[in-house]
């Protein structure tokens, strides 16, 4: 039997099975999680809004419903949280911005509504970088989370609160958002799983936008199984989101199995393993070891080339900031003091991008999509390190989109392909690193299966931060 002191580190899958068998009380589980947040929250700075009373009320309702025999599924009675750019009815939603510090939506985002329908318990709203853009910025007036693996380090951006909360046992899973890597990078920095599904797989209705053509919704969880469970709950067509897809969403968790024999994996080393001073060697070495492990498990690993990757950083920069500027232009001129120093600067300079910059960026993006489509005719998956560096120091200068460091995650936002980051090892200084597995559009099942197979064959995801 699980000890009360360990409940906060149960996975969603484990807790769900115990709740279904009525061996675990959602009320007790929620109480333990809230106590944990109260204890650690001050140090880790993860929650902008904590919903103590509301969460306990939801947990009591879930428990009563389950007792009556109305078990809704694997999220019923599970304490989760949301990045604070998902609208939540009657609950403040700030997007990490002073402009929205008193914003209380009148309706739930599609994701919040679907999680509610699945019976999940909402513990609260999690910290993020301002408008989910760029890296942490002290001038925005919101807490910046610390990395539970080393409090002198941060958790990147933009879903830093989400990754820290899952890693430290302050919620069992979160829904985050990703425009160029905001799910996978913080997940890697905190030794948890981050999954950006296919563009259109999850409705973005009620999510405060950054870049309409790059934004994605996806889970950050402790395990691949948990990501599969959360994705199933929120995936599927939504009439309120014209970009959402009619593609059927299977039972991702039900289809998980540890078998990748014969799976073909392509590795574009020319882009993802560069010898550059701004790319650290340790994450690359850890990814090399992970590729060897995938080979041991039966996958065929081959080097390949996707030449169009060369333009992905420039294309992502122009599209992200250009669309972001289009959304923010009025407030940027009328209320510039409402923005942090970093975003104010970046959106202002985006006003200087030209029409041909944006058109060329979209053409480069289309070429990249074709490059990936060609590669994915030959390979089932493309695998790489998740990010070029491990978690930056907490006091590092704010990250900017205009950084020269290559983004290993951005190509999948441009191409709209499903991509997951799973824990793959630690640096000599004890900071987590990860690998990224990406697949064909709407083939989340293969991506999850390969990630699950790797995860189950390794021990990295079982490590807990030294808190």
Half-sphere exposure of 256 (CA within 13 A, CB side): 19
366 binds another protein (CB under 8 A): yes
243 binds another protein (CB under 8 A): yes
Token pair of 16 as six digits: 């769900």
363 binds another protein (CB under 8 A): yes
Residue 193: name the closest of 358, 11, 398, 32 by CA: 11
Q: Pick the catalytic residue from 25, 83, 407, 421.
A: 83
State the number of binding residues for another protein (CB under 8 A): 39
- Pick the closer one to another protein by CB: 282 or 443: 443
Phi and psi (nearest 5°) for 159?
Answer: -85, 50
247 binds another protein (CB under 8 A): yes
N-term to C-term CA, the chain: 23
Q: CB atoms < 10 A from the CB of 73, how many? A: 15
The answer to whether residues 266 and 381 touch, using CB atoms and an 8 Å cutoff, is yes
Coil, strand, or helix at residue 49? strand
Q: What is the CA radius of gyration of the chain?
A: 20
Site for another protein in 291-330 (CB under 8 A): 310-311, 313-315, 317-318, 329
Torsion over CA: 271, 273, 274, 276 (sign): positive
Stretch that binds another protein, among 64-72, 126-134, 206-214, 245-253 (CB under 8 A): 245-253
Tell me, yes or no, if 83 is annotated catalytic: yes
Among 191, 245, 413, 436, binds another protein (CB under 8 A): 245
Determine whether 200 is exposed, middle or buried from the number of CB atoms within 10 Å of its CB (0-12, 13-18, 19+): buried
The Cα–Cα gap between 247 and 235 comes to: 10
The minimum distance between CB 315 and another protein, in angstroms, equals 7
Q: CB atoms < 10 A from the CB of 378, how many? A: 10
The minimum distance between CB 398 and another protein, in angstroms, equals 12
444 binds another protein (CB under 8 A): no
Stretch that binds another protein, among 81-89, 188-196, 363-371, 380-388 (CB under 8 A): 363-371
Stretch that binds another protein, among 82-90, 176-184, 266-274, 368-376 (CB under 8 A): 368-376
Stretch that binds another protein, among 172-180, 248-256, 348-356, 384-392 (CB under 8 A): 348-356
Tell me, yes or no, if 158 is annotated catalytic: yes
- Pick the closer one to another protein by CB: 275 or 352: 352
The minimum distance between CB 302 and another protein, in angstroms, equals 23
Tell me, yes or no, if 211 is annotated catalytic: no
Among 42, 239, 262, 466, binds another protein (CB under 8 A): 239
Q: Given the structure tokens 């580190």, which residue do they identify?
A: 9
Token pair of 123 as six digits: 């513990």
Token pair of 427 as six digits: 């640096």
- Contact residues for another protein (CB under 8 A)? 239, 242-243, 245-247, 310-311, 313-315, 317-318, 329, 333, 345-346, 348-349, 351-353, 356-357, 359-370, 400, 402, 404
């Amino acid at each position: 039997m699980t000890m009360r002191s360990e409940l906060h580190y149960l996975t969603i899958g484990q807790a769900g099975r115990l709740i279904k068998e009525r061996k675990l009380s959602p009320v007790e589980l929620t109480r333990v999680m809230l106590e944990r947040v109260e204890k650690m929250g001050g140090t880790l700075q993860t929650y902008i809004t904590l919903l103590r009373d509301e969460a306990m009320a939801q947990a009591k309702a879930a428990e009563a419903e389950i007792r009556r025999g109305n078990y809704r599924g694997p999220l019923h009675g599970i304490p989760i949280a949301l990045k604070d750019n998902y609208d939540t009815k009657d609950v403040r939603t700030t997007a990490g911005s002073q402009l929205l510090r008193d914003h209380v939506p009148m309706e739930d985002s599609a994701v919040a509504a679907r999680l509610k329908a699945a019976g999940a318990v909402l513990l609260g709203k999690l910290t993020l970088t301002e408008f989910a853009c760029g890296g942490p910025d002290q001038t925005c007036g919101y807490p910046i989370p610390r990395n539970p693996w080393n409090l002198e380090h941060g958790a990147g951006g933009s879903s830093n609160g989400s990754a820290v909360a899952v890693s430290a046992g302050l919620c069992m899973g979160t829904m985050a958002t990703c425009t160029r890597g905001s799910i996978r990078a913080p997940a890697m920095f905190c030794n948890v799983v981050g999954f950006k599904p296919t563009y259109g797989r999850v409705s973005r209705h009620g999510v405060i936008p950054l870049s309409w053509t790059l934004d994605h919704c996806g889970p950050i969880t402790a395990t691949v199984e948990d990501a599969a469970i959360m994705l199933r709950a929120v995936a599927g067509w939504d009439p309120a989101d014209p970009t959402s897809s009619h593609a059927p969403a299977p039972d991702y968790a039900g289809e998980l199995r540890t078998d990748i024999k014969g799976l073909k994996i392509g590795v574009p080393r020319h882009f993802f393993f560069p010898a550059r001073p701004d790319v650290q060697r340790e994450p690359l070495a850890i990814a090399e070891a992970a590729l060897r492990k995938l080979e041991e498990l039966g996958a065929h690993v081959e080097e390949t080339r996707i030449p169009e990757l060369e333009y992905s950083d420039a294309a992502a920069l122009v599209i992200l900031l250009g669309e972001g500027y289009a959304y923010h232009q009025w407030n940027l001129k009328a209320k510039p003091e409402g923005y942090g120093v970093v975003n104010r600067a970046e959106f202002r300079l985006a006003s200087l991008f030209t029409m041909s910059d944006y058109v060329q960026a979209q053409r480069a993006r289309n070429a990249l999509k074709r490059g990936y489509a060609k590669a994915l005719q030959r390979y089932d998956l493309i695998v790489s390190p998740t990010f070029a560096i491990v978690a930056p120091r907490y006091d590092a200068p704010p990250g900017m989109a205009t950084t020269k460091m290559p983004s290993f995650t951005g190509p999948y936002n441009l191409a709209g392909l499903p991509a997951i980051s799973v824990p793959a090892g630690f640096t000599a200084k004890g900071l987590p690193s990860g690998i990224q597995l990406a697949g064909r559009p709407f083939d989340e099942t293969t991506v999850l299966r390969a990630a699950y197979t790797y995860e189950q064959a390794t021990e990295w995801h079982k490590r807990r931060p030294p808190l």
